Amino acid sequence: MTQNVPSYTGDIAEQRIDPSREYSAENQEIEFSAEQHSIWADLFDGVHQPYLLEHICQEWKKGLEWLALDPKRIPTVKHLIDHILPRTGWTIERTVVRYTLADDWYKKFAQRIFLITDYLRTRDQMEFTPEPDMFHDIFGHLPFLTQKFYADIEDKFAPAYMKATQDEKEVIKRLAWYSTEFGLVVQNNRFTVFGAGIISGRKELTRTIMEFYRLGRDNVIDYTKPIFPQLNEHFLANKADLHRIIDGVNELHRQGQMSSADEGWNVVLGLYKKLGIKQEGMFGGEVILAPFDVETIGRIPKTVYAFNPMLFVCESLEQMDAVLDSYLKPIAMRA
């Protein structure tokens, strides 16, 4: 029998479901199968390894302790609410939709409701899933949501999104994507992972960490000196080529050639060759690290079904907060 395999493009597949079903009470607590709990346990164990955890930011590790997840069983919505609501005022709601439309998503954010999907990846998607599942939502995001600083960051998006023009909405979605989903932050003079999309995907997490090591091995970054100024210096010196690469990513995205994990990482190597950019220094690996910069982030598409070819680094969480404020606050304050 032929198995139907979904065909992904680079764009998010919209799901429109009757709201009365999407957020109905019967969706909130689900009786999971033994196999689903087993998948959860294997996913949890796959990331919860010392050699991976050392590259994840301290706030996530602290939040994981506070969230008190069972490594062997999928938590109930009640457990999540009990461990988050008293700390930050946010609550959790389960939805049958895998990709909630942005307008609906930010309406929920405005009510301090974080949505988690009822979908769990299958055995053949253990290291990378093209769509966010409940492991991503719970394991990746919710440890952060036990903490005020993260709740404050999430609080910034909805007020701005509600007053933004369509073009600004696209930038806002990308800022969220490359911060809370796929952001990096410097801690103790090392690059660490902040984004939930990287944390919850063992393969992307591993390959991102490999780039951290490559930068040191190839003498691009000297880890005995402050690393963020070095990254910023490389960024400024190579900004024109970086924008050429982003334009190339956009073109491939429009052509539907950013539709799988392998394409997402291999695309950068192909663009170096196509554009005549020497594969060295900042451009020596399969993924490019650049400072968290609104102009640059506004140019690059959200890469949903493939590994992200570019990741953005904040000097600190305070800097991330300030950069987001610089773009979001003026929009949110409009009459």
CA distance 98 to 104: 13
310-314 and 288-291 strand pairing? parallel
| 5 within some domain | no
Q: Decide: helix, strand or coil at residue 63.
A: helix
The residue out of 166, 198, 228 marking a domain boundary is 166
Neighbours of 14 (CB within 10 A): 10
The confidence score (pLDDT) of residue 267 equals 81
Judge whether 28 and 96 are in contact, CB under 8 Å. Answer: no
| 189 within some domain | yes
| 184 within some domain | yes
The confidence score (pLDDT) of residue 12 equals 45
- Would you put residue 330 in left (φ > 0), alpha (ψ -120 to 50) or beta? alpha
97 lies in the same domain as 135: yes
Tokens of 61: 């590790």
Tokens of 11: 């764009």
Nearest Cα neighbor of 333 from 164, 166, 171, 173 is 164
Tell me which amino acid residue 117 is.
T
Tokens of 79: 């457990």
| 125 within some domain | yes
Tokens of 57: 């930011």
Neighbours of 37 (CB within 10 A): 15
The confidence score (pLDDT) of residue 317 equals 97
- CATH number of the domain that 98 lies in? 1.10.800.10
Neighbours of 172 (CB within 10 A): 23
List pLDDT tens digits, range 45-91: 999 999 999 999 999 999 999 999 999 999 999 999 999 999 999 99
Give me the residues of the chain with pLDDT under 50, please.
1-13
35 lies in the same domain as 84: yes
The confidence score (pLDDT) of residue 15 equals 54
The confidence score (pLDDT) of residue 180 equals 97
β-sheet bridge partners, residue 95: 117
| 141 within some domain | yes
93 lies in the same domain as 178: no
101 lies in the same domain as 130: yes
The confidence score (pLDDT) of residue 1 equals 35
158 lies in the same domain as 43: yes
Q: Decide: helix, strand or coil at residue 288.
A: strand
The confidence score (pLDDT) of residue 3 equals 37
154 lies in the same domain as 184: no
Give the range of the structural domain holding residue 185, as residue numbers without chain letter. Answer: 169-332
Total domains in the fold of the chain: 2
80 lies in the same domain as 162: yes
The confidence score (pLDDT) of residue 182 equals 95
120 lies in the same domain as 54: yes
Tell me the whole-structure pTM to 2 decimals. Answer: 0.91
| 12 within some domain | no
List pLDDT tens digits, range 94-104: 987 666 778 88
45 lies in the same domain as 194: no
183-187 and 190-193 strand pairing? antiparallel
The confidence score (pLDDT) of residue 9 equals 37
Tokens of 207: 């390959």
The confidence score (pLDDT) of residue 280 equals 93
210 lies in the same domain as 91: no
The residue out of 151, 166, 181 marking a domain boundary is 166
The confidence score (pLDDT) of residue 23 equals 57
| 144 within some domain | yes
CA distance 284 to 65: 37
200 lies in the same domain as 264: yes
The residue out of 166, 188, 208 marking a domain boundary is 166
CA distance 23 to 327: 31
| 4 within some domain | no
235 lies in the same domain as 150: no
